[in-house]
Amino acid sequence: MLPADLAGTWIAHRKVFAGYGDDPAVRSIVVSYSTSILLNVLTVLVGFRLLRQLRFTVKESILGLLALLFCTTHLHYTQNMMENNYIMLLTLTGFSFQYEWLRTGSKRALLAGSGALGLNVLTRLPTCLDIMAAAFFLLLVLWFEGVRGRKLLERSWAYCKIAAPVYGFFLLLERLYQFYRFESFTHTYLPLFAQQLRSQDPTLPANFPWSTPFFEGVLGPLFKPEKSIFLFDPLLVLAIWLLVVLWKRLPAEVRAYGVASLLLLLGYISFYARYTYWAGDFAWGDRYVSTSVELAALLAVPLLLRYRGNMSAWIWRGGIVIIAASLIIQIASLAFWLPLEIYQMETLGHPTFVIALRFKNIAAFALGKMDAWGLNNESMTQDTWDYVHITTWNFLPFLLRRVGAAPKWVVEVAFAVWGTGVAALALVLWRLRALLRRQQSNSPSV
């Protein structure tokens, strides 16, 4: 983000913006747009590379990536920037380049893949789980292909000789950073965070912030209506179902990827299960596990397309319904700033079916029923900034108009650019559809 931050800061200090200092800030706009676009372009490129390595066709790979971009929580975290999509990019890169090493023996590819996974550790320490998942993915490929005994040990040793030093380097950097910030080689900020909160609230348990009962933290991401991964990412259900139904037909690398990604998901759920804020606090869905969910869901559409002829009509139709539902849910996730339902739950109580509440909010805003349905109540939050942002559509032109600090011509230009962008997206998708159809008719085997 540093280059975008430097550019955004320079632009924000230009004379033309001298009289504008409200949110969304010019610097934030520049950083958000440029960084999110770059992350998505790189994710598509490396995701396409990985799916092709897993022997999916061009059409299956492209549609699978479109499903990732528009039918998973990846779309939400494109608009509402957190570290999720960056972690997703680096993990996909790690899987792809390490798999290239497995097939070609390229040490450069293994170094690149290990470097991407190691870089992840500097973002969030639990991404060590991604490192283990990538190694397990390679091990499973070899195992499913019948590699055993001495040969398996030789490949494992060759992997460790290159990958382990790279991981050790990034772990050392991460520890040095923690020492610089918090004067500890063995801890992160959490002990200080817990100490400060306990000093303010002596009723907090001694084991805070690891005070959630384990099974509550495991079952919450799976079944709690406020955070269930199956509700926020229905594509995961399709991916798991297809893996089970088609297991015997799948090549070794696809089976290995499916198992590794699902084990990574279980690893994240288990790791955060006892964390007090296991659901990611102010987030759409469970942000701590959403990246691993997307990694597993990546297989859903390519598998559905590839094995359409080997499945019953009801599975195909059910898959289409799930994809459509996923798209609608992800688009709905963009409509409002995510704390809206969180503030509402303070009044409505728990549990709350957040997805349904979001659609109710969309209907209320669209029909002008905010007051009648109790959705335009400033008592939901004591923060005026929050109130402004949860009472308008969560897209830049609407935010600029709602805040009311930007000149009218700026708002109008923002609407024109935004509308043009949406139209261009529709045009590109239509053109892509035509090209894929033409390629399939010319070369069915591609």
What pLDDT is recorded for position 342? 85
What pLDDT is recorded for position 352? 81
What pLDDT is recorded for position 381? 54
Cβ atoms of residues 336 and 79 within 8 Å: no
Taking residue 37's Cβ as centre, other Cβ atoms within 10 Å add up to: 12
What pLDDT is recorded for position 283? 87
Cβ atoms of residues 63 and 48 within 8 Å: no
pLDDT along the chain (446 residues), means of 10: 90 82 84 94 97 95 96 95 94 98 96 97 94 97 94 96 97 92 84 86 88 93 93 96 95 97 97 90 89 97 94 93 97 91 78 88 87 60 71 91 86 94 94 86 57
In the three-class reduction of DSSP (H, G, I as helix; E, B as strand; rest coil), residue 6 is classed as helix
CA angle 132, 134, 138 (to 5 degrees): 115
What pLDDT is recorded for position 380? 57
Q: How far apart are CA 171 and CA 99, in angstroms?
A: 22
CA angle 415, 373, 387 (to 5 degrees): 50
The four Cα atoms 114, 115, 120, 126 give a dihedral, to 10 degrees, of 40
Q: How far apart are CA 101 and CA 98, in angstroms?
A: 5
CA angle 368, 371, 373 (to 5 degrees): 90
Strands of 28-81 (E only): list them.
none
The four Cα atoms 396, 398, 402, 405 give a dihedral, to 10 degrees, of 50
What pLDDT is recorded for position 387? 80
What pLDDT is recorded for position 405? 83
- The tokens describing 362, both together, are 């969309």
Which DSSP category does 178 fall into? H
Q: How far apart are CA 307 and CA 63, in angstroms?
A: 14
Amino acid sitting at position 73: T
What pLDDT is recorded for position 193? 85
Residues 6+ apart with CB under 8 A from 23: 385, 389, 399, 403
What pLDDT is recorded for position 370? 75
Determine the longest span between alpha carbons in the chain, in angstroms: 72
Which DSSP category does 83 fall into? S
Q: Where are the domains of the chain?
A: 2-334
In the three-class reduction of DSSP (H, G, I as helix; E, B as strand; rest coil), residue 421 is classed as helix
Which DSSP category does 392 fall into? S
Cβ atoms of residues 20 and 26 within 8 Å: yes
What pLDDT is recorded for position 374? 61
CA angle 83, 32, 60 (to 5 degrees): 65
Q: How far apart are CA 399 and CA 403, in angstroms?
A: 6
Buried b (16+ CB within 10 A) or exposed e, 42-79: bbbebbbbbbebbebbbbbbbbbbbbbbbbbbbbbbbb
- The tokens describing 219, both together, are 């079952």
